A and B are shown apart, each in its own frame.
Chain A
Amino acid sequence: MKFLQIILICFTFAFSSLAQDSFIDKMNEAKKTTKEELGDLKFDGSKSTYFQVREEVSYKEVEVAIFLRKNYHLFFNGNPTSAKVTVRIYDKPANNPNRIMLWEVKNISGKQKSVSVEELKKMYAYYVENVDNLRSIFVDYEIQKGKPERGGVVMVLGY
């Protein structure tokens, strides 16, 4: 019986490696598709955010330095996730209570969305006088609770 248990554990481990590799392939495929969406824009980087759907709401944050190029365009691909994920872009990090939300997509799952820094600055101009002080933006992913599973969102930068 003990032998069977050991084999079962080993099998689960081997199977989860297979599942992990196929999920990475899914994320890489999403990145490839999103890069194709750039059109005339030049690719300038990407960030694949991996998460585990949990029984409670969880968050991930990615900072993007926007001062390096004149007008970044951000492309999001939520195809690799079936969980409900809200994407929000802020001017400041999550620990700052005075931060301003500049953009939101309620559920990116199975969708592709994009926004430019110019659009974000237009929104920012409603709140502050000098929009040029916006040097970094903070992309927050709010992962809704659900049945435990792997998920991910790909963000691609173009200019």
Chain B
Amino acid sequence: MKNITKIFVALLTTGIIYSCNNEEVKSEEDTTKKKTGLIDIDTTDAFTSDEFEFILPRPFALAASFEEAGMTYDETRMNSLENLDSYKTEGKQILNFGVYSTDLVYNIINEQPQYSIKYFNGLKTLADRIGMGRIFTEDELALKIEKNIADKDKMEDLLVDVHEASQEYLQNNQLRFLSIIQFAGAWTEGMYLASFDFEKKDQNVISNKIVDHMTLLNNTIKGIKLYEDRDEDLQKVLDGLIDIQSAYNNYESVKSAEGMPKLTSDEINTFKNKIHEVRSLIIS
């Protein structure tokens, strides 16, 4: 009997050592989370996917969907990097990680290397604060990005790696639910940047784009609602997103549409204003 006990103790010790090595960084983050009581995540079944999920598009794909509608560059439209230090809660940090990801892509597609490097550094700072800093050290990703910052094509590939690494990080650390919050920030910023000069663009094209993007908004709302213990900041953003969804569903052109709705100029304008309101909530 004593021998069996010894074997169990030995195996258990091995298991604990393995778990400790694997969870070293995680436990530090967990402690921080417990202290601050920010986003509470149910990880009991984190490795079984939900019955319904959706693929989160990358910021580059979001930007690409608006390129044909024409998206002019203006650096003052991006979220200022001066705001970076004001994001104290995890909710705000993750939301703005998404916002800055889109801003970085906005700089890259408009070939603005100086701003690209600034926004990339901002993104790295936020990643460190969220606990995802390691994604940039793997495979010397940060160095490769800095080296290729002016090369649009290479940067697109490297940002795929960043996106994948961050998704894998969240998945492997049983935090995959956080990726939807990151996406909410990226989506809102993408819509915000695309919304300028809506009135000067082909209204049919803009209408189609908005209708398309409502699918992403609906799924984002579903995803954020999964958090039962959302912090106040996140709740406000969720309310704002729900407000956009409700306004859209009540548009006459949407209610009367048999196929793809054709939004009127007024509806497009209301939509734009609501996007601006939610974006202010996120970056403030």
Interface residues of chain A, those whose CB is within 8 Å of chain B, are 3-4, 7-8, 10-11, 13-15, 17-18, 20-21, 23-24, 28, 42-52, 59-65, 67-69, 93-94, 130, 133, 135-136, 150, 155, 157
* Complex contact B55–A14 (CB within 8 A): no
Given A50-B48, A60-B51, A11:B15 Cβ within 8 A: yes
In the assembled complex, the Cα of A34 lies from the Cα of B152 at a distance in Å of 25
* Chain B positions 168 through 192: 1 when the CB is less than 8 Å from some CB of chain A, otherwise 0: 1001100000000000000000000
Select from chain A the residue with minimum beta-carbon distance to B47: A50
What is the minimal beta-carbon distance from B257 to any residue of chain A, in angstroms?
11
10 A-B pairs (CB sep. < 8 Å): A10-B12, A11-B11, A11-B15, A14-B15, A17-B19, A45-B58, A49-B53, A62-B55, A63-B55, A67-B65
Interface residues of chain B, those whose CB is within 8 Å of chain A, are 4-5, 8-9, 11-12, 14-16, 18-19, 22, 47-58, 61-62, 64-65, 156, 160, 163-164, 168, 171-172, 211-212, 215-216, 219, 259-260
Q: SS class of chain A's interface: helix, strand, loop or mixed?
A: mixed
Which of B12, B49, B54, B164 lies in contact with A7, CB distance below 8 A? B12
* Complex contact A93–B216 (CB within 8 A): no
* Complex contact A11–B49 (CB within 8 A): no
What is the minimal beta-carbon distance from A23 to any residue of chain B, in angstroms?
8
What is the minimal beta-carbon distance from A50 to any residue of chain B, in angstroms?
5
The residues of B that contact A24 with a CB separation of less than 8 Å are 47, 171-172
* Complex contact A65–B47 (CB within 8 A): no
**Residue among A43, A47, A65 with the most chain B CB within 10 A?**
A65
* Complex contact A68–B61 (CB within 8 A): yes
Given A43-B160, A67-B65, A130-B259, A93:B52 Cβ within 8 A: yes
